[in-house]
Amino acid sequence: MPSPSMVISIKSQDIDFSFFKLFCFVERIIKECMDKLRYNLQKVLKKDKVMDAQTRILWLLKKLNRGEIIDTAQDELWIKEKDETPRLNYKTIRRDFDAIKSVFSEIEIKRTESGCYQAINTNLLDDLLDERKRNVLKIIYTMLAKNSQKFHENSKKTAISQTINESLGVYDFVTSPIETELDKTVIKTLEDAIRYRKKLAIEYTPTNRSDSKKFKEVKPYKILLINENLYLANSNNEYDFSLFRIAGIVNLEVIKGETFNHDYNIDDFIKNIQTPFAVFSHEWRSSLIEVQLEISPKKAFLFERKNFFSSQKIIERKPDGTIVVSYHFSDLKEIEFFIMEFLGYVKILAPVELKQKIIKKIEEGKNLL
């Protein structure tokens, strides 16, 4: 089954997620753990029916994760209802615990009294995801829940939401992290087409004021989240590479029986995209433009704390606190708006062409005041 990271990429972070299938992603991780459990069960529970063993394991995990006491003398899975005699012997119980520990290695199970057990550490999600991934999940979960009421309502029903919800009070977003509600059928069609490399016919409107344009053959590569908007990275019958803002897709349909092979140069370009203004060419690597900026000491700390673009490098630190940073872009338009935000604190060292473009923008801006 194709990985969600094949479908949707969140730029400016180096973790890939299926944005609209966050919970499917996490549930898939849990399923993989269950598969691993099943494999271990088949090895250690040779005399048991596998389905019975799975039922017990899932029941045990629920109890252990809640910190509840497991009483093998009273709980329903361990005692026969008719005569209240034990279903399982002590060795079987221990094998169940060993199977759980084979996946959740950090979990500690203590014996509280005769026939009773309890987990000391109960957050089993810690074993599934490292801290960095858990934090990203929490942030994205909050983003989605805040942006979409339907998502918020549906997410309450998922297995993972209970764990993540414990931290939701920590995060909030003053501005909307993604654009308005998107058509779920469009997203689903795009995801399937990307996974299985199906060609599409798309009717697209670049802006609200422009007329729609029909592309009879579109090869969808990936969905990118850039600057709070979702884009479809694609090649089509008119352009070797293009970014369609998904909110502007008016209509689309799968071209039956039509599939395509990836151009790996395009794949490589997508991995290195930094802005929606990136310009593709088959010689894009050798055509990159180096930009050097001198940053005032008053703002230098911002550039030391954060890479505003993935190509950012600090190439010089001066005694007065000034720093020099470098970037590489496919087109100067990629950084023009960024520089305008830091006017007064940024000096353009190279290229001269960029400096001229910014001076022109400043002059044009004066006419609007």
Which pLDDT does position 14 carry in this prediction?
37
Selected residue with higher pLDDT from 27 and 235: 235
Q: Which residues contact 350 (CB under 8 A, 6 or more apart)?
A: 290, 291, 292
Beta bridge partners of 291: 327
Concatenating the DSSP letter of every residue in 78-99 gives TB-TTT--BSS-HHHHHHHHHH
Domains and CATH numbers, the chain: 45-126 (1.10.10.1200), 184-271 (2.30.30.100), 289-366 (3.30.70)
Strands, sheet with 116-119, edge to edge from the N-terminal-most edge strand: 70-71, 116-119, 109-113
**At residue 145, does pLDDT exceed 80?**
no
* pLDDT value for 283: 95
Mean pLDDT over residues 167-192, rounded? 71
pLDDT of residue 132: 54
Give the tens place of pLDDT for each residue, 64-75. 766 777 776 666
pLDDT of residue 18: 44
pLDDT at 63: 74
Average pLDDT, stretch 319-332? Answer: 97
Interatomic CA distance for residues 18 and 11, integer angstroms: 12
CB 179 within 8 A of CB 247: yes
- pLDDT band at residue 49 under the 50/70/90 scheme: very low
What's the rounded mean pLDDT across residues 82-103?
66
Peptide bond into 351 cis (omega under 30): yes
Q: Assign 3-state DSSP to the chain and report helix, strand, coil percentages, each to 5.
A: 40, 25, 35
Reply yes or no on whether the pLDDT at 251 is more than 80.
yes
260-267: which pairs have CB atoms within 8 A and are 24 or more residues apart?
A: 260/197, 260/199, 260/219, 261/197, 262/197, 262/221, 263/235, 266/221, 266/233, 266/235, 266/240, 266/241, 267/221
Specify the pLDDT at position 288.
97
Query: What does the pLDDT average to over 42-61?
Result: 60
Q: Residue 107: pLDDT above 90? A: no
Q: What is the mean pLDDT of the chain?
A: 77
Percent of the chain with pLDDT over 90: 42
Residues whose CB falls within 8 Å of the CB of residue 168, separated by 6 or more in sequence, listed in order: 138, 141, 142, 145
Which pLDDT score is estimated for 228? 77
Q: What is the pLDDT of residue 15?
A: 38
Alpha-carbon separation of residue 201 from 124, 261, 337 (angstroms): 45, 17, 33
* Ranges 159-173, 222-236, 316-330, most confident: 316-330
